[in-house]
Amino acid sequence: MDPFFIGVAAIVVMIALIIWGIPIAFSLAIVGIAGNAVLLGPAQAATQLQLIAWETGTNFLLIAIPLFIFMGQLTYHTGLATDLYEVVYKWLGRMPGGVAVTATVSSAGFGAVTGSSVTTIATMGSMVMPEMKRYGYDPRLASGSVASAGALAILIPPSIPMVVYGVWTETSIAQLFIAGIIPGIIMAVLFATYIIARCALTPSMGPRGPSFTWAEKWSSLVKLLPVILIFFAVLGGIYGGIVTPTEASAVGCAAVALVALAMRRLTLENVMKALDQVANISGVLFFVVIGGIFISRFLVLTGLTPGAVDLIIGLDLGTYGVIAMLVLLYLILGTFLETFGLLVLTLPFVMPVFVDLGIDKVWVGIFLVLMIEMALITPPVGLNVFVMHKVAPDIGLLTIFRGSIPFVLITLGAVALFTLLPGLVLWLPAQMN
């Protein structure tokens, strides 16, 4: 049988299994096993799977994933996010849509110490939603802003998808992390500006919060110190070339533990809860990655990957045309795939196209994270929207999805901006040691 045909059939079966509801890791593995067995024989298929599992499970760079998850979980369980929220609220709460603006800026700040959008929404949502209800916020704006702001956590370093992308494409994870800073800040500013403008035009959508004296505002800044300390312990070390991202993840864990200990918030119960979650999330993520690597190597063998890449390049759309086409593709795929499924299934096809076009791999990494951000808030499979719905069950899924639409459009605008001005992404990593 023609290997190319086997490759096409494998893709069709794999997508069908995923849509049907078979766990992504199992779908990828079973198609990879069957495909490799047909092409290379059953023994070779088993060897390939085992080798990839061992290679992935002993990759020093990937240690950063469980360690950054632990850092985020510990931050979550020790209540550092509450401090961050209170400080931002005192400074920005008085603006039009003040609570929503506070949620956006706090989510960006919290993302700097967690790297998980789900943790960010669960934490911020449970704090801001009662406040927004108290002020009579429009449910669409309220829920949509929190769900969208949570997605900033994976753009602002540390970011788990960036670690996976970096390892997979052999791109510097340190440069990816640093590259995420300016786009992350720009996105947070754009989101906040939209909320302010929308609430200034229609004040009933998001009334102003209480005002605080300058003394209260300045004195609140002390509470920012722990987050700033953790942020600089992680990113300062990476930016200065002192530690690698993997080492920074361990330093970050120690920094959070020490800060929590100094604040008398480090309990055995918190640590155990965080460790438990780390093992769970790592187990889930790694098997999607293992399955993804397994299937992508198989697709290269079939000749499907080079064929698809040639096809896209042969369309002669130019750089902007290809990027526009990929944005459309990700918008479609994002309707039924979540973060890591989206990443591992598209990278084998998308990466060679970008390489052929001569686009910087760091820029591509940021582009893909932005695409994942959109997938997190677009229907019908928007993970952030589901988490938001869990936090605020009285707000319907449709309302949250509709509330997220302006933020999806802003993200698309930001992608256009970063495409036209790639320096916004690439300037900071170019300054690294």
| Residues at the interface with other proteins (CB under 8 A) | 17-27, 29-30, 33, 45-47, 49-50, 53-54, 56-60, 62-63, 66-67, 70, 242-243, 246-247, 249-251, 253-254, 272, 275-276, 278-280, 282-288, 336-338, 340-341, 380-381
Return phi, psi of residue 360, to 5°. -60, 135
Give the separation between CA 162 and CA 174, rounded to whole angstroms: 9
Angstrom CA distances, 322 to 317, 356, 366, 419, stand at: 6, 11, 16, 11
Q: Find the shortest distance in angstroms from Cβ 139 to other proteins.
A: 23
Structure tokens at 54: 């061992």
For other proteins, which is the closer residue by CB, 25 or 153? Answer: 25
Closest CB to other proteins among residues 322, 375: 375
Comparing CB distances to other proteins, the nearer of 338 and 360 is 338
With a CB cutoff of 8 Å and minimum separation 6, the contacts of 134 are: none
Considering the complex, state which of residue 86 and residue 247 has its C-beta at the smaller distance from other proteins. Answer: 247
In whole angstroms, the minimum distance from the beta carbon of 194 to other proteins comes to 29
- DSSP label at 23? -
Of the pair 67, 132, the CB lying nearest other proteins is at 67
CB atoms within 10 A of CB 185: 15
Instruction: Tell me how far, at minimum, the Cβ of 264 lies from other proteins, in Å.
Output: 21
- Computed over its alpha carbons, how large is the radius of gyration of the chain? 22
Q: How far is the CB of 286 from other proteins (least distance, A)?
A: 4
CB nearer to other proteins: pick between 53 and 185: 53
Q: Which is nearer to other proteins, 84 or 260 (CB)?
A: 260
Query: Is residue 196 within 8 Å of 98, Cβ to Cβ?
Result: no
Q: What is the DSSP letter of 317?
A: -
Q: Would you tell me how many other CB atoms lie within 10 Å of the CB of residue 244?
A: 17
User: Burial code of 48-69, b = ≥16 C-beta within 10 A, e = fewer?
Assistant: bbeebbeebeeeeebbbbbbbb
Cβ neighbours for 59, distance < 8 A, ≥ 6 positions apart: 167
**Residue whose CB is less far from other proteins, 249 or 305:** 249
CA distance 389 to 125: 10
Min dist. Cβ of residue 347 to other proteins (A): 16
The residues near 224 (Cβ < 8 Å, ≥ 6 apart) are 83, 84, 87
What is the distance between the alpha carbons of residues 255 and 70, in angstroms, rounded to a whole number? 12
Question: Tokens at residue 348, please?
Answer: 């084998």
Query: What is the rounded CA–CA span in Å between residue 158 and residue 71?
Result: 10
CB of 70 to other proteins, least distance (A): 6
| Minimum CB distance to other proteins smaller for 241 or for 321 | 241
